[in-house]
């Protein structure tokens, strides 16, 4: 009995000492309003959500701004503990990470340039074949458009490059997540949004496959933020006028 108690105490202290009070969180700050740079600082909906979760679970958040297609490798090699990046919880990604409960529902939208006569014929997803369509490397938009036969897909490293190409009529459309797309259309008057009926997507927070404990902690914290109204406040702050 004594031995057992000793063993349990040793194990408990190991767990306690092994636990860090810091959480390294990776994002890709080119996805307004979820994460973007303001005066060199990463801000946005995801940032506030993760900071609130950090407070609940008593962890200091250390932000890492990484290319989107570098996020999953960084998590797998344990350079970061968490990803929050408007990341869609796809079946494929579920093979490599643990996703939290979904916190946002999104969809893919088509953006066209009204000043480009070739763009005028694009009214739905079915009109994409025969056109050059811009996507961002590794985004779910890339995965979706790549499946459409007859489309010439141009992959860009970031959304702003894709938008530049659309403005320069180098691509006839850009397919992007709904909220960032709405933002670009607000600031580029020549761009127009086309709603697609492509399946809804859900954004989730990702942690390592072997880190079920952290996934549970994050879920519990998230649920309590939903209950105490903090999450609702955030939704209102970022998505009120829609
Ligand atoms: N929802 C899309 C995906 O999961 C795009 C996410 C892009 N996020 C970002 N922070 N750049 O592929």
In whole angstroms, give the CA distance from residue 10 to residue 4. Answer: 10
Alpha carbon of 68 to ligand 1 centroid (Å) = 7
In angstroms, rounded to a whole number, what is the distance separating the alpha carbons of residues 30 and 64?
Answer: 13
Sketch the domain layout of the chain as residue ranges: 2-105+202-238, 108-195
Question: Is 140 touching ligand 1 by the criterion CB < 6 Å?
Answer: yes
pLDDT tens digits, one per residue of 138-155: 999 999 999 999 999 999
129's tokens: 């074949």
In 66-119 the beta strands, taken as DSSP E runs, fall at 82-83, 97-99, 104-106, 108-113
Q: In Å, how far from its chain's centre is CA 111?
A: 19
In the chain the first and final C-alpha atoms are separated, in Å, by: 63
The residue among 190, 196, 216 whose CA lies nearest residue 205 is 216
Task: Tell me the two tokens of residue 18.
Answer: 């092994």
| CATH number, domain 2-105+202-238, options 3.40.50.1100, 3.30.365.10, 3.40.50.720, 3.40.190.10 | 3.40.190.10
| Ligand 1 atom with least separation from CA of 159 | 11
Residues in the chain where the model's pLDDT stays below 70:
1-19, 197-199, 241-242
Q: Cα torsion at 86, 209, 214, 72 (round to 10°)?
A: -30
0.85 cut: is pTM over it? Answer: yes
* 141 Cα to the center of ligand 1, angstroms: 9
- Which architecture does CATH list for 108-195? 3-Layer(aba) Sandwich (3.40)
Cβ proximity of 58 and 22 under 8 Å: no
The pLDDT of residue 209 is 94
Q: Is the CB of 35 under 6 A from ligand 1?
A: yes
- Measured in Å, residue 37 CA sits from the centre of ligand 1 at 16
| pLDDT tens figures, 170-204 | 999 999 999 999 999 999 999 999 977 666 899 99
Do the domains spanning 2-105+202-238 and 108-195 agree at the CATH topology level?
yes
Structure-token match 């014929």, residue found: 121
């Amino acid at each position: 009995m004594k031995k057992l108690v000793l063993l349990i105490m040793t194990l408990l202290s190991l767990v306690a000492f092994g636990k860090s009070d810091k959480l390294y969180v990776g994002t890709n700050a080119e996805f307004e309003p979820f994460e973007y740079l303001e005066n060199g600082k990463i801000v946005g909906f995801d940032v506030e959500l993760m900071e609130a979760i950090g407070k609940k679970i008593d962890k200091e958040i250390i932000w890492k701004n990484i290319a989107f297609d570098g996020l999953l490798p960084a998590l797998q090699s344990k350079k970061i503990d968490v990803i929050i990046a408007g990341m869609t919880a796809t079946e494929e990604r579920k093979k490599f990470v643990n996703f939290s409960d979904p916190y946002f529902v999104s969809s893919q939208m088509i953006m066209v340039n009204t000043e480009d006569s070739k763009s005028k014929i694009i009214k739905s997803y079915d009109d994409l074949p025969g056109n050059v369509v811009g996507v961002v490397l590794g985004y779910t938009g890339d995965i979706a458009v790549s499946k459409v036969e007859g489309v010439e897909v141009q992959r860009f490293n970031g959304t702003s490059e894709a938008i530049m190409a659309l403005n320069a009529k180098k691509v006839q459309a850009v397919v992007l997540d709904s909220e960032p797309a709405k933002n670009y259309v607000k600031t580029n008057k020549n761009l127009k949004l086309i709603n697609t009926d492509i399946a809804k997507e859900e954004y989730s927070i990702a942690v390592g496959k072997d880190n079920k404990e952290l996934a549970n902690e994050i879920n519990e914290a998230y649920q309590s933020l939903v209950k105490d109204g903090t999450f609702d406040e955030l939704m209102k702050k970022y998505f009120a006028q829609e």
